[in-house]
């Protein structure tokens, strides 16, 4: 499974990249806006932190302008992946950009049928939002399972990028049902390493070692 970081926090991305836990990054207009910085500058800096795909989202709602914006975004860096909304216009833009060999991430997916359409038009990634489905008492992980089955049935190469990850359990369940990628905030990724028994065991080992008076 690939780990993408859902953030525009350069320090947080760099920290996890140093550990070896960054396969790519996802952003959206809301995340970039919170940084208070120029959109293109932020994307360019993130792209220098990882060789993996960095999703940069269009803001247009009509296909022609999405395509224009997508081409502009792609010029920022070779690892930019153009993020498009799952609308008919977004799908049309995805079809055009995919034929131009520009990586695409079709976002805001909430149903298997939507995921099927994204794969049909050549999306590099489909982003099902599992946390937002959980928020309205639907099963976000069931959506991942359904998409996995559909894609495997027909050999679609579109990768399932599980988004709206809220906790470590989401990550585990996505791995179990076969998501290709998860994108999560830095703190969720860091929390995957935490376990009370790990902390307890390490404390005991260190105490015992200290008692020997030795050093390595």
Active site residue 200: no
Contact 161, 4 (CB under 8 A): yes
Domains, the chain, ordered by start:
2-212 (3.20.20.70)
- pLDDT score, position 15: 98
Q: If pLDDT is split at 50, 70 and 90, which confidence band does 186 have?
A: very high
Catalytic residue among 68, 75, 83, 92: 83
| Nearest to 6, CA basis, from 51, 46, 59 | 46
Residue 13 pLDDT > 90, yes or no? yes
Residue 21 pLDDT > 90, yes or no? yes
- 3-class SS at 35? helix
Contact 27, 54 (CB under 8 A): yes
- pLDDT score, position 7: 96
Residue 163 pLDDT > 90, yes or no? yes
| Nearest to 5, CA basis, from 193, 167, 189, 192 | 189
d(CA 17, CA 124): 22
Residue 34 pLDDT > 90, yes or no? no
54-75 per-position pLDDT tens digit: 999 999 999 999 999 999 999 9
Residue 35 pLDDT > 90, yes or no? no
- pLDDT score, position 29: 87
Q: What is the mean pLDDT of the chain?
A: 97
- pLDDT score, position 139: 92
Q: What are phi and psi of 82, to 5 degrees?
A: -80, 125
Residue 169 pLDDT > 90, yes or no? yes
d(CA 138, CA 134): 5
Taking residues 95-111, report their average pLDDT.
98
Residue 209 pLDDT > 90, yes or no? yes
71-95 per-position pLDDT tens digit: 999 999 999 999 999 999 999 999 9
Question: Beta strand 181-184 with 125-128: parallel, antiparallel or unpaired?
Answer: unpaired
Name the percent of the chain lying above pLDDT 70.
100
Residue 51 pLDDT > 90, yes or no? yes
107-150 per-position pLDDT tens digit: 999 999 999 999 999 999 999 999 999 999 889 999 999 999 99
């Amino acid at each position: 499974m690939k780990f993408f970081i859902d953030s525009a926090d350069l320090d947080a991305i760099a920290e996890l990249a140093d550990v070896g836990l960054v396969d790519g990054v996802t952003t959206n207009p809301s995340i970039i806006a919170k940084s208070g910085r120029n959109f293109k500058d932020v994307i360019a800096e993130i792209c220098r932190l990882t060789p993996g795909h960095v999703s940069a989202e269009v803001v247009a709602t009509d296909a022609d302008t999405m395509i224009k914006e997508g081409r502009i975004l792609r010029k920022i860096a070779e690892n930019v992946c153009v993020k498009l909304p799952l609308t008919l216009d977004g799908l049309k833009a995805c079809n055009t950009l995919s034929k131009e060999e520009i990586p695409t991430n079709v976002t805001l997916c909430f149903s298997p049928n939507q995921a099927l359409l994204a794969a049909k038009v050549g999306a590099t990634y489909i982003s099902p939002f599992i946390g937002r489905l959980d928020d309205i008492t639907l099963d976000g992980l069931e959506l991942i399972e359904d998409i996995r089955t559909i894609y495997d049935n027909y050999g679609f190469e579109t990768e399932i990028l599980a988004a709206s990850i809220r906790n470590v359990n989401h990550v585990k369940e996505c791995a179990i049902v076969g998501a290709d990628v998860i994108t999560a905030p830095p703190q969720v990724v860091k929390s995957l390493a935490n376990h009370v028994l790990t902390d307890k065991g390490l404390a005991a080992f260190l105490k015992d070692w200290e008692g020997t008076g030795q050093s390595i």
